[in-house]
Amino acid sequence: MKVLIMYDYPPSPAGLATQGHLMHRGLDELGVDVHSVHFESAQEKEWYYRWFEPDVVLGVGYWGHTPFLVLHPQRYGVQAVPWLVADGYMANYQEVLNSLPLILATSQWVKDIYVRDGLKGDNIEVLPVGCDTDSFKPRDKNDPKVVAVRESLGVALDQIMILTIGGDATSKGAQEVMQAMAINDIKAPDWKYVCKVWPQPRTEAQNLVDLQLATQLGIDKNVVYTTNVISRNFMPYLVAACDIYAAPSRLEGFGMIQVEANSCGKPVIGINAMGMLDTMVHGETAYLAEVAQEIRLRETIVGDESGYEPRHRYVFKEPRIVDYRASVHDIANYLMELMSNAELREKMGQAGRKRAVEKFDYRIVAKRFIEIISERLGID
């Protein structure tokens, strides 16, 4: 089997790039002839089509990337298999995607979103995102690299460190976590809440809103926002430095960092919805707060990124759920339980590590990909 993987290559620290990179590693270690290319690089993709002659082109992205992941390889007679996440709704490309023999979705929720929005579903298989469980592993709290992370963030060794990581913190549920900690503050053990976000103009504006909320809640001295550019080399130590990973996300098609946190032996606070229903086990590896609010839209504005003219007004036949909010009181209760009980944190972390190794290790995911391609497309 010869596989060409299209994603944000060479890989940046972002989720989709990591998804593609780990699949490449897994296939390579299993002896598959595999190459990677940037999904937007038309000339280089064509170059690979001509000399490498791949059996399958695996494209990592979301439905809006269909021109790059599906239509381009089809133009050269190459079998395209998109591996897709979802952004809450699907506005275009239903006909193109329905014509494919195989689509991969990162979770059952992602598959459900695509079926809700017009895909037939019988050509969609769920394939989770891989995790590098060799790098994301439990580490001693006195490991100099772990200690150095906490020191750089101003978190004392005896403080409970709650961590959220994302392109921005709000979409990962940081505002709900801050509201929960405002409820817990006086009765909770000494704590710091660290939000690691990616530096970009949108994030900078959102950070100001979040920090203003922390000030209004009276917990600003306990909240740390850091916006440095970091690599995947640093991520395992950042995650290992926390005591609790909290990301009750408003929109989550899989939850890569939640799985990485479990792989590091950390308990997770999530939301009882979306991709986390696949990745987390409530009461065992994580606490999943119930959904307190569903955000519905009657219409939206899309553009050329979705295959429409600029500022195209798209009206849903029925209001669509595009966002969620987790219960603040559930988050507060679960955080308090974990913060007050080191043995519980250890127990849930061990269960999370075991599940991550058994179900989400990148080599297991790569092996499952090979099985799906063989079963569904007859390619060995």
**H or E segment at 4?**
strand 2-7
Quick one: tokens of 337? 């339980």
Q: Which domain holds residue 80?
A: 2-130+361-377
Does residue 99 lie in a domain region? Answer: yes
Question: Which CATH number belongs to the domain containing residue 284 in this structure?
Answer: 3.40.50.2000
Same domain flag for 148 and 285 = yes
CA torsion through residues 198, 203, 204, 207, sign: negative
Does residue 311 lie in a domain region? Answer: no
Does residue 306 lie in a domain region? Answer: no
Residue 311 Rama label (left phi>0; alpha psi -120 to 50; beta): left
Same domain flag for 83 and 119 = yes
Say what the pLDDT of residue 324 is: 96
Same domain flag for 156 and 115 = no
Same domain flag for 110 and 255 = no
Say what the pLDDT of residue 202 is: 74
Say what the pLDDT of residue 343 is: 98
Say what the pLDDT of residue 200 is: 78
Same domain flag for 252 and 195 = yes
Say what the pLDDT of residue 172 is: 97
Same domain flag for 24 and 124 = yes
* pTM (predicted TM-score): 0.94
Does residue 314 lie in a domain region? Answer: no
Strand 124-126 to 160-166 pairing: unpaired
Same domain flag for 349 and 205 = yes
Q: Looking at the DSSP assignment, which residues form a beta bridge with residue 302? A: 312
Same domain flag for 118 and 157 = no
Does residue 206 lie in a domain region? Answer: yes
Same domain flag for 112 and 152 = no
From the list 326, 350, 358, 349, the residue with the least C-alpha distance to 128 is: 358
Same domain flag for 185 and 233 = yes
Does residue 316 lie in a domain region? Answer: no
Does residue 310 lie in a domain region? Answer: no
> Taking the CA of residue 78 as centre, how many other CA atoms within 13 Å lie in the half-sphere pointing to its CB?
31
From the list 137, 17, 133, 91, the residue with the least C-alpha distance to 316 is: 91
Same domain flag for 153 and 113 = no
Q: How many domains does the chain have?
A: 2
Does residue 46 lie in a domain region? Answer: yes
Tens of each residue's pLDDT in the chain, 380 residues: 999 999 999 998 889 999 999 999 999 999 999 999 999 999 999 999 999 999 999 999 999 999 999 999 999 999 999 999 988 788 889 999 999 999 999 999 999 999 999 999 999 999 999 999 999 999 999 999 999 999 999 999 999 999 999 989 999 999 999 999 999 999 999 999 999 998 877 777 888 899 999 999 999 999 999 988 888 899 999 999 999 999 999 999 999 999 999 999 999 999 999 999 999 999 999 999 999 999 998 887 877 767 778 888 878 778 888 899 999 999 999 999 999 999 999 999 999 999 999 999 999 999 999 999 999 999 99
Same domain flag for 54 and 172 = no
Say what the pLDDT of residue 271 is: 98
d(CA 272, CA 249): 10
d(CA 216, CA 240): 30
- The tokens 């909320």 sit on which residue? 213
